[in-house]
Amino acid sequence: SQKIEQNSEALNIQEGKTATLTCNYTNYSPAYLQWYRQDPGRGPVFLLLIRENEKEKRKERLKVTFDTTLKQSLFHITASQPADSATYLCALDFPLSSASKIIFGSGTRLSIRP
Amino acid sequence: DAGVTQSPTHLIKTRGQQVTLRCSPKSGHDTVSWYQQALGQGPQFIFQYYEEEERQRGNFPDRFSGHQFPNYSSELNVNALLLGDSALYLCASSPTPRASGNYEQYFGPGTRLTVT
C-alpha cells in the first residue's frame, strides 16, 4: 500500500532561517502533491500544489520541489517567522476519472523560535 | 462568503451508538470529502461524494456511510461506535473534480467525536 513519511515529528528553527520539511513516499508517484498547514484544533489549510511534471513551485516565502525519481518532495519556508509555527502536512493526490483520492502524511510540527 | 461549515463542533457518544455529522460545502463547490484524523496523525480519507453518489472510498468499514443532498451538503453516519472511532472528523469541499483545474480542498473546522 502507498506510504508517506514526513521528517521527524518536530522541527525547531531560529527565526529568519529557512525551514525545510521532507515528504517521502513509496510505490506510485502521484499526479499531484499538495502541502497543507494545520493549526491546533483547526482544519488543514491548502498552501501549494505541484504536478508530477513540475520540478519546483513558489508562492511568496514558500517553495516546493518534487522529485519523482527520488519519490520525494521538499517544502521550504524562507525568512521563517514565529507565525509560521504549525503542523505541515503533505498529501499525495491520485486523480481518477470522476473522483480523486488524497493520502496524507502524518505531518511535521514546525516551531519557529524568536 | 461562508467557507465550509460543520456541525456539531463536539460530540460525546457511548459505544454501540450511532452518530450523524453534517457538512455544508463552500459556495460554488459540489464535491465533498470526509476524513478522520486521530490525535497526532494526518487525516485519513473516508470517502468522497459528487453528484449525490459515493465516488471513492478509503479503507473504512461499512459502519461508515454517507449521503450528499441536492444542495451539495453532506452527512457522515457512523454506526455501532467503537472507542477507536474517537477522532476529529473533517469535511473538505472542492470544485467539480478536475474540471475547473482548481485542485485545492477547503476544510471545515471539524467535529470532535469522543466515544466512551
pLDDT, tens only, A20-67:
999 999 877 778 899 999 999 899 999 999 988 899 999 999 999 999
- Residue carrying C-alpha cell 452518530: B19
Residues A87, A6 contacting (CB under 8 angstroms): no
Q: Which residue of B has its CA nearest to A1?
A: B59
CA-closest candidate to residue B110, choices B91, B96, B84: B91
pLDDT, tens only, B56-84:
888 899 999 999 999 999 999 999 999 99
How does DSSP assign A56-88, residue by residue? Answer: EEEETTEEEEEETTTTEEEEEESS--GGG-EEE
Number of domains in chain B: 1
Number of domains in chain A: 1
pLDDT, tens only, B12-55:
999 999 999 999 999 989 999 999 999 989 999 999 998 999 98
Domain span including residue A73: 4-113
Mean of pLDDT values over A89-107: 79
CATH code where residue A57 lies? 2.60.40.10
Beta bridge partners of B106: B93
**B26, B104, B106: which to substitute to probe chain A, counting the most A Cβ within 10 Å?**
B104
Domain span including residue B74: 5-115
CATH code where residue B44 lies? 2.60.40.10
Residues A36, A12 contacting (CB under 8 angstroms): no
Residues B71, A13 contacting (CB under 8 angstroms): no
* CA–CA dist A92, A49 (Å, integer): 10
Q: Which residue of A has its CA nearest to B41?
A: A106
